[in-house]
């Protein structure tokens, strides 16, 4: 059974300032959970909080010489770095750009579901009722239910060429109705 290492704060700081990998591993193992929660409370997204936490530990590693034990405890210093990194992330242009892009994508998918309602508003379904029954079924399946021509062929047990020909004829007929 392996012995678990334990350092006093002064020993840990001294080893970190000497850039000892074992001390850094100890630091990560013992403080990453608390620092992660500090970051997560600010950025509110788990994946982003993990990225920021990585940056926090890089900053700690690079800036450990700036730590002054007379000004406060090591944990307090690391917590401030974490808090500032989280705030910096929220203020960054890339975060705002990413958030706007995500909102746009979510809106596109939300409005895409309303397509069927929109076609009803323009009266397309009413015009489709004027078509021959064989054309009406094809238009209904292809344009209102989103089936592909191949799926329609299998669903109706009709050759694919026939489906394509009938759909083309149906569209020509619809165009004529719309011109009136």
Question: What pLDDT, in 10s, does the model give residues 161-171?
Answer: 998 998 898 88
Residue 177, H or E segment: helix 160-179
What secondary structure letter does DSSP report for 66? G
- 177, 130 in Cβ contact below 8 A? yes
Kindly state whether residues 93 and 148 are assigned to the same domain: no
- 127, 177 in Cβ contact below 8 A? yes
Kindly state whether residues 22 and 76 are assigned to the same domain: yes
The rounded Cα 143 to chain-centroid distance in angstroms is 30
- How many domains in the chain? 2
Q: Tens of pLDDT along 65-105?
A: 999 999 999 999 999 999 999 888 888 766 556 665 555 44
Kindly state whether residues 28 and 52 are assigned to the same domain: yes
50, part of any domain: yes
Is residue 33 classed as helix, strand or coil in its secondary structure? helix
1, part of any domain: no
Kindly state whether residues 15 and 90 are assigned to the same domain: yes
């Amino acid at each position: 059974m392996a012995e678990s290492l334990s350092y006093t704060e002064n020993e840990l700081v001294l080893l970190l300032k000497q850039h000892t990998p074992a001390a850094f591993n100890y630091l990560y193992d013992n403080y990453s959970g608390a620092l992660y929660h500090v970051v997560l409370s600010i950025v509110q997204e788990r994946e982003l909080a993990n990225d920021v936490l990585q940056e926090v530990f890089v900053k700690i590693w690079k800036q450990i010489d700036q730590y002054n034990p007379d000004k406060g405890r090591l944990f307090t210093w690391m917590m401030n770095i974490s808090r500032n990194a989280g705030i910096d992330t929220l203020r960054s242009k890339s975060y705002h750009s990413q958030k706007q892009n995500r909102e746009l994508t979510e809106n596109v998918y939300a409005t895409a579901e309303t397509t069927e309602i929109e076609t009803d508003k323009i009266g397309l379904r009413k015009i489709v009722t004027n078509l021959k029954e064989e054309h009406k079924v094809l238009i209904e399946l292809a344009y209102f239910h989103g089936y592909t021509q191949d799926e329609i062929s299998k669903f109706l047990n009709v050759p694919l060429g026939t489906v394509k020909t009938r759909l083309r004829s149906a569209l020509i007929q619809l165009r004529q109705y719309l011109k009136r």
